[in-house]
Structure 1
Amino acid sequence: MEDIAKYKDIIDIAFKTCENAYAPYSKYKVGACVLTKDGKHFIGANVENASYGLTNCAERNAIFQTYSNGYRKNDIEAIAIVSNGKTLATPCGACRQVLVELLEENTPIVLSNHKIEKITNIGELLPMSFTEKDL
């Protein structure tokens, strides 16, 4: 498994981005940072809505920013997803489906809550996924 220290920069940027979260209902702030292979960073924080289903998660905000700037899955080096929660903030089901579409299967997904850190990938987080290969 890869060394978590390799991703210290994007972990730190993601934690800084947590400060931008809009989480008046859950009080659960999440930050994310995508690192591209050419060294650029794209950030995202969770943005809640009173109509809970319209909330957008940090990792979707970050990955959508990446794509909005012209990058694609083969340009992405890694993504960090962090929170100050009691456990690791792992992507929800909707985010896993987005990530399986927009990341390479083995792209590192770095998770941290300052106490626990883990490197995983979308293949591990969403086995037997539904993708364009199924269409």
Structure 2
Amino acid sequence: MIKSILIYTAAFAALFFAVYFLQTTVVEQSEALVRFNLWDTNLFFAAASALICIHLQLFSTIKSLKPQLGYIYLPTLFIKGGLFFLGFQDAVFSLENFTFSERLCLLSSLVIFLVLEVIFVVKILKENAPKILS
């Protein structure tokens, strides 16, 4: 379990730095204007996704929660969205109109970290699925 948690942490940290530096490079080269902090938004998406995976891995060690892991995961997207809204209400949601580069930065960060999160969640759920045909 500790190995899995270290893998999740390392994977999300590596992806965070890759996405951040790629976005920063593209924004600087295209001379686009991004009116919010890319570091903070990417860090939020990476940390939230990593915490979801780590908690699901920890919950998978509790025998009574194993059949409920999928149901435990379902509301996390809404919780993450609500926390993002609360945390970035002034920085992101106070903007009247988003530029294309701002939309692209937010959406790409969300999707990239969500894809890695789903890969890890599917792995956790497969490991803990009941063996029906055994």
TM-score, with normalisation over the residues of structure 2? Answer: 0.27
More helix by share: 2
More strand by share: 1
Higher relative contact order (CA 8 A, sep 6+): 2
Larger Rg: 2
TM-score, with normalisation over the residues of structure 1? Answer: 0.27
